[in-house]
């Protein structure tokens, strides 16, 4: 499509009238990274530190930050551009103009097994070998890909997509516009065993698992249901692949959990929390609103709102950075200490 047409479509995502230079209004055939662009591609520049890419990119059009110098550089090279305060965000919307994920057409595959007591809304798509048990309620425009299993008493909200081989256990409530990726397991039994003289006694997990609207769960992640009460994932929270969320956890709105994060039972995250890859959170620990934990952080006690933490156990990020610098110098410090001990003699030991 023409660049001017793209600008028109993207303008709805901008708060103000955009700064634009359409040049000769080139034809745009796709989107790609600025370093990999070829003629006909639209790409983006995140900020001034990437300014040198403008001089070498083969992109025909760019999404730029609000930087007049970058605008001029693009214009001098004959590159069409649109400027915004959040280039990466606008580029995300641009990708959606050229690509939409595969979605099944509405209808029920003949190999699907659906209990007669299940309720299906309008325009529902159900793929091959899907199993839908008693009491399941599926709202309008839900898409269920092949080999998905829905246990009894499951509710799926409008427009939600369940990808192949995910499993939704009993007493699970999934909201509107959610995406559950391949292999994820939602509402499985929490790890509940009580010690007795005869050994471990299983505590049945009779609670509920609730995913609010627009939650996304990555491939092979797991969210457990509790013995009583509920495990709840807040609205618009995004969960990466290979994440474990224990029974009874409460996660707020707009959180992001990267791959291999693990939350022990009863952990609580506030709103807008970001956990980097392989972060671990102890059971019953509370992490406040807006907390950021860098990769491999071990959170063993409550973290106040707004903190940025790193390390194991978690400490303030700035303190951790200083500790890492000193840690890298330990061999040098040790040698200096040995030299000092030799100078002072044996009495100093």
Question: Please, where are the H alpha helices in the chain?
Answer: 3-10, 68-76, 87-98, 317-328, 330-344
Residues above pLDDT 70, as percent of the chain: 99
Which pLDDT score is estimated for 15? 79
State the Cα–Cα distance between residues 93 and 9, nearest whole angstrom. Answer: 9
CB-CB contact of 164 with 182 (8 Å): yes
Reply yes or no on whether the pLDDT at 175 is more than 90: yes
Which pLDDT score is estimated for 345? 76
Which positions are catalytic? 247
Residues above pLDDT 90, as percent of the chain: 89
State the Cα–Cα distance between residues 311 and 307, nearest whole angstrom. Answer: 13
Reply yes or no on whether the pLDDT at 173 is more than 90: yes
Token pair 């509790």: residue: 226
Average pLDDT over every residue of 158-180: 98
**Lowest-confidence segment of 39-48, 183-192, 239-248 by average pLDDT:** 39-48
59-85 pLDDT, tens digit each: 999 999 999 999 999 999 999 999 999
Which pLDDT score is estimated for 347? 60
State the Cα–Cα distance between residues 333 and 322, nearest whole angstrom. Answer: 15
Token pair 């004959």: residue: 78
State the Cα–Cα distance between residues 142 and 195, nearest whole angstrom. Answer: 43
Which pLDDT score is estimated for 154? 98
**Which of 250, 242, 177 has the alpha carbon at shortest distance from 216?**
177
Tokens of 79: 């590159």
256-307 pLDDT, tens digit each: 999 999 999 999 999 999 999 999 999 999 999 999 999 999 999 999 999 9
Tokens of 48: 């001034």
Reply yes or no on whether the pLDDT at 103 is more than 70: yes
Q: How many CA atoms lie within 13 A of 121 on its CB side?
A: 17
Which pLDDT score is estimated for 86? 93
Reply yes or no on whether the pLDDT at 348 is more than 70: no
Which pLDDT score is estimated for 219? 98
Angstrom CA distances, 18 to 65, 73, 85, 93, stand at 11, 18, 10, 15
Tokens of 91: 């580029």
**Which of 326, 291, 296, 293 has the alpha carbon at shortest distance from 307?**
291
Please tell me whether residue 104 adopts helix, strand or coil conformation: coil
Average pLDDT over every residue of 174-200: 97
The DSSP call for residue 18 is: P
Average pLDDT over every residue of 176-186: 98
Reply yes or no on whether the pLDDT at 349 is more than 60: no
The DSSP call for residue 222 is: E
- What value, to the nearest 5°, has the Cα angle with vertex 57 and ends 53 and 61? 105
Average pLDDT over every residue of 220-246: 98
Which pLDDT score is estimated for 18? 81
Q: Work out whether the CA dihedral 279, 200, 231, 112 comes out positive or negative.
A: positive
- Predicted confidence band at 8 (pLDDT cuts at 50, 70, 90)? very high
- Predicted confidence band at 121 (pLDDT cuts at 50, 70, 90)? very high
State the Cα–Cα distance between residues 180 and 170, nearest whole angstrom. Answer: 16
Reply yes or no on whether the pLDDT at 44 is more than 80: yes
- Predicted confidence band at 50 (pLDDT cuts at 50, 70, 90)? confident
CB-CB contact of 18 with 93 (8 Å): no
């Amino acid at each position: 499509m023409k660049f001017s047409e793209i600008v028109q479509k993207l303008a709805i995502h901008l708060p103000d009238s955009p700064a634009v230079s359409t040049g000769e209004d080139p034809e745009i055939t796709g989107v790609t990274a600025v370093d990999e662009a070829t003629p006909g591609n639209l790409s983006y520049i995140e900020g001034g530190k990437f300014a040198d890419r403008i001089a070498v990119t083969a992109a025909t059009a760019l999404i730029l930050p609000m930087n007049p110098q970058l605008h001029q550089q693009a214009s001098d090279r004959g590159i069409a551009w649109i400027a915004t305060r959040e280039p990466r965000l606008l580029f995300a919307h641009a990708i959606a103009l050229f690509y939409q994920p595969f979605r099944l057409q509405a209808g029920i595959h003949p190999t699907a097994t659906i209990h007669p007591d299940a309720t299906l809304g309008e325009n529902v798509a159900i793929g091959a070998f899907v199993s839908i048990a008693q009491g399941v309620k599926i709202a309008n425009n839900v898409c269920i890909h092949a080999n998905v299993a829905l246990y009894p008493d499951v509710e799926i909200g409008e427009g939600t997509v369940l990808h192949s081989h995910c499993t939704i256990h009993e007493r699970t409530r999934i909201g509107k516009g959610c995406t559950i990726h391949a292999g994820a397991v939602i509402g499985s039994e929490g790890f509940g065993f009580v010690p007795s003289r005869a050994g471990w006694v299983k505590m049945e997990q009779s609670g509920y698992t609730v995913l609010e609207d627009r939650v996304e769960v990555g491939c092979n992640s797991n969210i457990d249901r509790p013995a009583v009460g509920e495990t709840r994932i807040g609205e618009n929270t995004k969960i990466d692949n290979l994440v474990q969320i224990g029974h009874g956890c409460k996660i707020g709105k707009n959180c992001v959990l990267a791959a291999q994060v693990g939350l022990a039972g009863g952990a609580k995250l506030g709103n807008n929390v970001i956990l980097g890859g392989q972060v671990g959170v102890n059971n019953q620990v509370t992490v406040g609103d807006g907390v950021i934990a860098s990769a491999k952080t071990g959170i063993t006690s409550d973290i106040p709102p707004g903190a940025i933490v790193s390390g194991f156990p978690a400490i303030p990020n700035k303190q951790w950075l200083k500790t890492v610098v000193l840690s890298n110098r330990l061999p040098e410090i040790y040698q200096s200490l040995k030299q000092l001990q030799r100078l002072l003699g044996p009495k100093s030991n």
